[in-house]
Structure 1
Amino acid sequence: MGNKNKLPDVFDTDQLVQLFDSMNNIKVATASFLAFFCGLRISEVCNLETSNVDLNRKVLKVVDSKNTNRGKQGGYGKDRYIPIPDPAIDILRDWITLIQGGKWLFPSDKSPNQPMTKKNLDEKFRASLRNAGLLIHKEDLHFTAKITNPKTGKKEKVERTIPRYKYHFHNLRHSYATYLLNKGVNIVAVKDLLGHERFDTTLVYAKLAHSKKAEEVNNAFNVQMRQHVIPQQEVAQLVPPQPSNLNPLAKLQDLMVSGKITAEEYQQRLSLLQSSLLR
């Protein structure tokens, strides 16, 4: 995700409704809907086969998208199974009926025997962002490219500028992770659902969820009333706060999210905690 200290941008609920309402392409809408509700990478969406969808068990099999040579490596890869939330079940069922079978869940328009390409899905998703008023310019990326001069046949350096936008297809995955953590889903479970190899990759979302909660609380209580509620001369007489009633796992997770312990320390303490609970 680039700079690990930089928090990713996520869609809020209103933006998601606005985005999906603006989509006039059923395939793109279904693919985007599934990416959000299952936290998928764009490559994972494009490579889904209809056989990967089990509507009866409400489970989606995601083949490891980062280990394409696993046969040569002699391993099985890190495929994962993701629960399909109820809101996505009927949409998937209707979509599978609409495409009338076939190997690929999202086949190419030009070549139905091939999957939809990442480039094609990304371009159409960007068009949907534009329709929804969410194609928000963030910054310009300046770089030097080498191109061949058609007249001389020699390589020449040319300055290029590419606009960068706030939201992309991958932000659906960011939003999925942040939404789960905001709803109290354990960070270890979120790590497994996302298919992350490193724990600190998932930790970025935990920090974002923590900052979002703090922002919501501050906004909710953004009223100048402290002096009226608690006279300063009586502050010293206040009853000390009661100890937290969080369970040990929640306490440990809170220590990590607040930055009081590192991801490595979290994993070490988590192993000790799990060992003690099994005794």
Structure 2
Amino acid sequence: MRIRETLSIRFCDIDLSHGEEKIIVRGKGDRLRAIPLVPGLLSLELLREEVNKYGADQIYLFPQPGDISQPLSYNDASALWRQLQKQTGTRYHVHQIRHSCATSLLNDGVDIEIIRQLLGHQDIQTTSHYAKLDIRALRKELIAYVQRRERGLVREDSAVWGNTLQVLI
């Protein structure tokens, strides 16, 4: 999620129904999208704890200190991030987490269309700027292609690389 999307999460946007766990996010252009939450991850269990602890008393998951009726401001979130950077000795911008998550998903075989939807991009070109395949993922896909071709699972008229691809691998 984008930082502003995260800060604006309300408890009513969180659905923790068994098998339906998700957060409804209001993104750019006021577009809504659902972010599925994966059972078994620590983050989901921590979210459940927060909902059980605060859900009835406050509106926002990340409220403004002293005013739980307002979301944490972007500036306050940035200040908290800078404090965390000092404590951990890191120099990453918080937005880089979004890029690295997209890249990890892509390199682990998640379809770029799924990643596009998760990130809330309208254009897949934007997603391709975020997510970059590493050489291992490229090699793995090319090897899988050659194996499919050898088993006759690729139409010969679509095998534009011919034997060149086998030489490269």
TM-score by length of 2: 0.74
- With over 3 angstroms needed to count, the CA separation of the structure-2 counterparts of 1:211 and 1:118, relative to structure 1, is farther
Amino acid in structure 1 at the alignment position of 2:64: S
Give the drift of 1:98: 2.7
Q: Are residue 84 (structure 1) and residue 37 (structure 2) matched?
A: yes
* In 2: Cα distance, 1:212 partner to 1:96 partner: 40
Instruction: Check the 8 A contact 2:108/2:137 in 1, yes or no.
Output: no
Q: 1:100, 1:175 → 2: CA distance?
A: 30
What's the CA shift for 1:210?
2.6
Give the counterpart of 1:204 among 116, 125, 129. Answer: 129
Superposition deviation, residue 211 in structure 1 = 4.6
| Identity in percent | 29
Deviations, residues 159-185 of structure 1 (Å, cap 9, x unaligned): xxxxxxxx1111121122111111100
Structure-1 separation of matches of 2:38 and 2:75: 27
Return the offset for 1:105: 1.3
Shift of 1:78: 2.3
Is the contact made by 2:24 and 2:34 (CA closer than 8 Å) also made in structure 1? yes
Distance across 2 between alignment mates of 1:177 and 1:243: 26
| 2:69 corresponds to which of 84, 93, 113 | 113
Q: 1:94 to 1:244 in 2, by over 3 A?
A: same
Match of 2:51 in 1: 96
Tell me the secondary structure at the aligned position of residue 146 of structure 2.
coil
* Matches for 1:209-228 after TM superposition, within 5 Å: 209-211=133-135, 213=137
Q: Once the 2 structures are TM-superposed, how far is the Cα of residue 100 of structure 1 from its aligned partner?
A: 4.5
**Normalized against structure 1, the TM-score is what?**
0.47
Aligned 8 A contact 2:21 2:37 in 1: yes
Count of matched residue positions in the alignment of Structure 1 and Structure 2: 143
How far apart are residue 213 of structure 1 and its match? 4.5
Does residue 1:245 correspond to 2:169, yes or no?
no
1:187 and 2:112 matched: yes
What does 1:149-188 align with in structure 2 at a 5 Å threshold?
A: 167-188=92-113
- Judged with a 3 Å threshold, the aligned counterparts in structure 2 of structure 1 residues 213 and 123 are, in CA distance, closer, same or farther, namely farther
Query: Shift of the alpha carbon at 1:123?
Result: 1.2
Instruction: Mark the structure with the bigger radius of gyration.
Output: 1
Q: Partner of 2:70: helix, strand, or coil? A: coil
Which consecutive unaligned segments of at least 5 residues does structure 1 have? 1-39, 68-76, 136-166, 218-241, 249-279
Equivalents in 2 of 1:117, 1:193: separation in Å? 23
- 1:61 and 2:57 matched: no
Distance 1:171 1:180, change over 3 A: same
User: CA, structure 1 residues 122+111, in 2 after alignment: closer, same or farther (shift >3 Å)?
Assistant: same
